[in-house]
Structure formats: structure tokens, C-alpha cells
Amino acid sequence: MALLLVCLIVAVIVAVSIGPLPIALSDVLSIISSKLPLIGGLVPFQGSPVSQEIVMAVRLPRVLAAAIVGVGLATSGVTLQALLRNPLADPYIIGVSAGASVGATIASVLGLGFSVIGALYSIPLFAFAGAIITVLIVYSLARSSGGVSVLTLLLVGIAITSLFSAVVTLLRLLSTDMALSIVFWLLGSLNLTTWNYVYLALPFTVVGFFVTFYFARDLNAIVLGEEQASHLGVETETVKKIMLVCVSLMTAAAVSISGVIGFIGLIVPHIIRMLVGSDHRILLPSAALTGAIVLIACDTISRTIMSPAELPVGLITALVGGPFFIYLLTSKKGRQRYSL
């Protein structure tokens, strides 16, 4: 984890320095350090005012947003794979992305552009609201007198996702003027990220991660089965509710500022589980750091590989994650691990 933390810091600095106007790593370090509380006044400023504006207003918020989204999606993926006891579970399986897509599409089609106290813009606000409402619907439909059935939750999530995907497609057909921007958002993009977006997603991701980490021992027990976990003293229904709330908030916050970015919540947990094992006390923070690193790298590639044009970051994660996941599943160790 110490190594991953160092890699994350290096990834942030390198990603901020890369762009149409390259900025020296020393300048990036001095610019960022000069803005830090307590030590900012002790660090001599280097670089031009233009470099400072590019770093602080454009690249740093985008890189930090990528890190936040990576943490949220990877943590959610680990948690859902434990709760559902399904190695193919990802953060979008309970309908979060579908609800967020409907909300963002409605905001785009209606051309809404308001803000709340100058901080929350229409698309992320509607996307977040759509994601949360969808999770509430899925949970209500999956709930019964005996609690929440994992299988029912999974099936309802798939059904809602299919239904809302059809709604998004219909809205795109009815609004040809906004079709391109909607598609770009659905593929995942951080090109419109500002500090306001960072402030929107950060608290939900931080709180969601630490609450999830607090229940790491319970997740270890639930992986063995709900009956065994109950014998070990775990209140499985309570833990499931809390974990679903955390996953919903983290995923909704991520999708609201970045669109639908696939494979981070699916691939990263598998990679880290192979390296550090299945103890969630180690797996959760390791996956969170790796998710941040991977998404920062993919976003840097997406905005530089065809510069000055920009590719959706979700396209990069799919092109990289898809073949890699197939390799994991078809390899000898993968077949043994997942019984495929």
C-alpha cells in the first residue's frame, strides 16, 4: 500500500505535467506545493503565470477527479463482489449507471444549465439524483419480509438497467441536436471537469470508502456465505443495507462527474486480489489506490493520444480492460479461481 501511495503521487504529478503545453515536473511540484496549506508560504514559486493557470484551473482538478472516480468505482467493485459473492459483479450492476444516464440525458435534452450556490451544475446534479432514485427503486423491488435477496437484487438491477437504457436511446433519437454530447457522456469523459465537480464527488467517496473499510471484517465473513456470517455474529441484513448505501453514493458521485466508465470496478479488484489476497482490510485500500492510478493513466492517454482531439476515457478503459479481463478468465489460474 505504501508503494501504491507513492505511485499515486507520482501519477498525479506526471499527469498534470503532460498536455499540449508540457510543464516541467519541478514547476508542477512548486505550483502545487505553493498552494498547500501550512507549507505553501515556505515553497518558492517557479514557473510562469500561464503554467500556474493551466495546472490549477485545468489539469489538477481533472486529475484529482479521475483519482476520486477511480477510488469510488474500485471500492464499489470490491464491495459488490463480496456482497453478491460474484466475481463478475461491478458497480453498475444494480442500475446506478442506468439511472445516472437517464438523469444526465434529461438535463441535456432539456438544456438545463442552472447551478446551486454556483457549485452544482445540471448534468452532474441530475445524474446523481437519477442514480440514487434508481437504487431506491431497485432496493424496494428486491426487498421482502425476509430481507434483501442477493439474487433478486441482481435480477432487478439488470431489468432496470435494460429499461433505462431503452429510455436513454429514445431520448437520444428525439433530440438529435444533443445526441453527440449524450453519447460522449455515456462513454465516460472528464473533459468538462472543474473544481466544483471535485467538491461534489469528494465527500461521498471519502465517507463511502471509510465506512466500507470499517466493515472489512464483516465483508470477509459474508464472502463465506450469509449463514456462516450470521453464525460468526455478523448482522448480515444491516451490513448489506449499509454497504449498498455506500456503493450507491460512491458510484453515483463517480458517474455524475465522469459519465459511465467501465471496467475499473471490475478489473482492478481482480488484479489486486491476485496480488494481496482476499482480506478486505488490505484489499479495499489497495484497490482504491490502484483504481485511482489506473484511471489517471487512462485519462492521460485519452486526452493526449490524439491531441488536440480527445477520446472518451471510457473507450480507453474498455479497450484495455476488455482484453485483459478475457485473459484473466481464460488463463489457467483464472479458470481455477473462477471455476470457468
pLDDT surpasses 50 at 46: yes
pLDDT of residue 118: 46
pTM greater than the 0.85 cutoff:
yes
**Residues 6+ positions from 148 with CB-CB distance below 8 Å:** 139, 142, 237, 240, 241, 244
Over 60: is that where the pLDDT of 116 sits? no
Q: Over the chain, what is the mean pLDDT?
A: 86
Give the chain's domain count: 1
pLDDT band at residue 145, thresholds of 50, 70 and 90?
low
Tell me what pLDDT residue 15 has.
96
Q: What is the pLDDT of residues 222-276, one digit of tens each?
A: 998 888 888 888 898 899 889 988 998 999 899 888 988 988 999 999 889 989 9
Amino acid 222 reads I
Which tens digit of pLDDT belongs to each residue from 242-255? 998 899 899 989 98
- Whether the CB-CB separation of 188 and 122 falls below 8 Å is answered with no
Q: Note down the domain range covering 38.
A: 2-338
Smallest CA-to-CA distance from 288 within 12, 59, 8 is with: 8
Round to whole Å and give the CA distance between 87 and 108. 35
Closest CA to 124 of 312, 314, 257: 257
> Coil, helix or strand for 265?
helix
Contacts 24+ apart (CB under 8 A), 33-36: none
Write the pLDDT tens digit of every residue in 164-181: 989 988 888 887 776 777
97 within 8 A of 255, measured Cβ to Cβ: yes
CATH of the domain at 165: 1.10.3470.10
Q: Which pLDDT score is estimated for 87?
A: 81
Range 180-207 average pLDDT? 87
pLDDT for 296 equals 97
Q: Which residue in the block uniquely carries the three cell numbers 433505462? A: 164
Query: How much is the pLDDT for 337?
Result: 58
pLDDT digits (tens, 9 = 90+) for 282-307: 999 999 999 999 999 999 999 999 88
Q: How confident is the model at residue 26 (pLDDT cuts 50, 70, 90)?
A: confident
